[in-house]
Amino acid sequence: MGEFSENQYTDFRSVAVDGLLFFTPKQRVPVGTAILNPAEGVTEETITPAFRPITIRGKTFQNRVWVAPMCMYSCQDGMFSNFHVAHYGQWAMRGSALITIEVAAMALRGRNNPQDAGLLSDNRIAPLKQVVDLIYSQSQKATIQLQHAGRKCGFGSYAEDVQGSTAEPWNKDYATPGEMTEEDIWETIDAYGEAARRAVVAGINVIAIHDAHGYLVHSFASPAINTLRYIPILSAEGVDLFDISSGGTDRRQKVQLGQQYQVPFAKAVKDLGLPNVFGDGVTVHDILSNNKADVVQVAREFLRDPNIVQKVALSTGTNVTWVDQYHRAPMNGKYVESTTSIMTGAKASDFVMQSHENQAPNKIIS
């Protein structure tokens, strides 16, 4: 976990992250990793569960505080932009082990909104790769959520192309969908496969399918939508991890918002005993310590404060790694001077080390 090598940089430049079109120093240890001290009794078994690594299909995540998918409605023709590089990069730099990129439509008629992201064609790969490269450059991992909005795809000039599991509209303000044929269904399945392929080419580590809130896949699972029956079926088909949500399958539902309002549903699924089913620091600690879930995906609180991972660490008394470049401004308030691999071990030139008097001519503006 929090261990450092003595040979992580050259005489004149920090080690670069491989495979990028830009230079950035490699973080010695991924930000958000617990710093262990066995001599003081700080071990992987004694730290808060939020910072115990979890491994799924050979991929290890250094903590369990992850970014949930959140639609930004900020794409033109489905293309990611520099906005998304900055938007997702802030959480990668600050230590979330897995960052879920917002829902991306896998077909034009699958968009929830005209400004949704999309992986509709190969020319969408490069813009997504820019986002993924920034996340990867900070030693974090990325996932993307793929979706077909189904009958909730009812906006703009493509309303006449809306498809659904039935011909019933979501409500009077949405377009009436065409009931999908078997051919339509297979075409959609193929489109999901192509979108997943494009995501992998862009460097995505994990593929997520939006199967909730009444969108297309969810609408086919209903009316037998009892999650406790549905999850074991998906698990048997090879799904590794479930992000539990609720609501949206029927417009008559009244969702009661509040702290941990989705947690009881996650706890019910967790109690099935399936492998790898998955606010503030106190809330995160409560969820994981009481075995209500395996990881916590945080959404809006990350928008308010990108330092949630560090806040969880502080509130639970856990020392975790911080951004190498930010070593003079640690979240725990302990001032650290020049301990990062960003610094060089090479001797500075004699000119730099001259006294103020000898350098004075260079400091005076005539």
* Catalytic residue set: 215
User: Rg of the chain over CA atoms, in angstroms?
Assistant: 24
C-alpha 123, offset from chain centre: 23
HEC string of the chain equals CCCCCCCCECCCCECECCCCCCCCECCCCCCCCECCEHHHCECCCCCCHHHCCEEECCEEECCCEEECCCCCCCCECCECCHHHHHHHHHHHHCCCCEEEEEEEECCHHHCCCCCCEECCCHHHHHHHHHHHHHHHHCCCEEEEEEECCHHHCCCHHHHHHCEECCCCCCCCCCCCCEECCHHHHHHHHHHHHHHHHHHHHCCCCEEEECCCCCCHHHHHHCCCCCHHHHHHHHHHCCCCCCCCCCCCCCCCCCCCCCCCCCHHHHHHHHCCCCCCCCCCHHHHHHHHHCCCCCCEEECHHHHHCCCHHHHHHHHCCCCECCCHHHCCCCCCCCCCCCCCCCCCCCCCCCCCCCCHHHHHHHHCCC
Mark 43-57 as b/e (b = at least 16 C-beta within 10 Å). eeeebbbbbbebebe
CB of 302 closer than 8 Å to CB of 91: yes
Q: CA–CA separation, 274 vs 252, rounded Å? A: 31
Query: And the tokens for 57?
Result: 């299909």
Amino acid at site 56: I
CA distances to 71, 140, 215 from 248, rounded to whole Å, are 16, 31, 8
